[in-house]
């Protein structure tokens, strides 16, 4: 259902709640519209590409893609994904999805199935959650089970990691306009900030 199909998602906040749809609100918290009813079963993660298209991970459908005004475009097959959680997409259409059961999958542009599994340098993922990409296209994955941010090249090759030293307390990461990493630490009720070259600021 679209309550306002002419309102684009860009510039607004998108919220995934307990119901099986996406709610769009503006910067003042005013409800604009909602979408995804009938297409989404259990939505978990959300990302927006440079064209304003919305990507939503869904337990039953892999991930679904919607237009900037909420119309369904297409979805991936469930095969190859096990309880997808986090999702990120870059300017070229490459999609990265984390899974509840410990895998992180890369989808090349337009591919309905995973084309590469990301593998950290020292061991397998323990509990991967949040995924994002920086301005250079590098892939950052939060591994809650190890307390690390694993970093990969745009092609999915392992580069290095950041050890946050906190097990079971970090689930997401975002990047500000200056390139700093912001990581919510739910155990200590604070935001960890990693600055230049991803080192904690002094």
pLDDT in tens, 123-148: 789 899 999 999 889 999 999 888 88
Q: Strands of the chain (E only): list them.
A: 13-16, 22-25, 31-35, 43-48, 54-58, 62-66, 72-75, 84-89, 95-99, 104-107, 116-117, 128-133, 139-143, 148-152, 158-163, 174-175, 181-185, 190-194
Q: Quick check: 14 pLDDT over 50?
A: yes
**According to the per-residue pLDDT averaged within each range, which of 13-17, 47-51, 76-80 is highest?**
47-51
Q: What is the pTM of this model?
A: 0.85
User: CA Rg, the chain, in Å?
Assistant: 17
Higher pLDDT, 88 or 188: 88
Q: Does residue 195 carry a pLDDT above 80?
A: no
**pLDDT band at 156, cuts 50/70/90?**
very high
């Amino acid at each position: 259902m679209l309550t306002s199909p002419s309102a684009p998602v860009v510039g607004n906040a998108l919220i995934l709640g307990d119901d099986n749809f996406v709610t769009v609100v503006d910067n003042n918290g005013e409800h604009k519209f909602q979408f995804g009813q009938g297409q989404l079963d259990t939505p978990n993660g959300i990302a927006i590409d440079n064209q304003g298209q919305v990507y939503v991970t869904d337990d039953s459908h892999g991930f679904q893609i919607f237009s900037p005004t909420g119309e369904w475009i297409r979805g991936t097959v469930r095969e190859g994904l096990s309880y997808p959680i986090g999702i990120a997409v870059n300017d070229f259409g490459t999609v990265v999805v984390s899974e509840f059961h410990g895998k992180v999958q890369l989808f090349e542009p337009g591919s309905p199935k995973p084309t590469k599994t990301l593998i950290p340098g020292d061991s397998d993922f323990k509990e991967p959650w949040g995924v994002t990409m920086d301005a250079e296209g590098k892939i950052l994955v939060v591994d809650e089970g190890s307390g690390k941010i694993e970093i990969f090249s745009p092609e999915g090759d392992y580069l290095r990691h950041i050890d946050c030293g906190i097990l079971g307390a970090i689930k997401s990461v975002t990047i500000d306009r200056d390139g700093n990493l912001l990581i919510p630490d739910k155990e200590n009720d604070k935001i960890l900030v990693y600055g230049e070259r991803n080192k904690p600021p002094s």
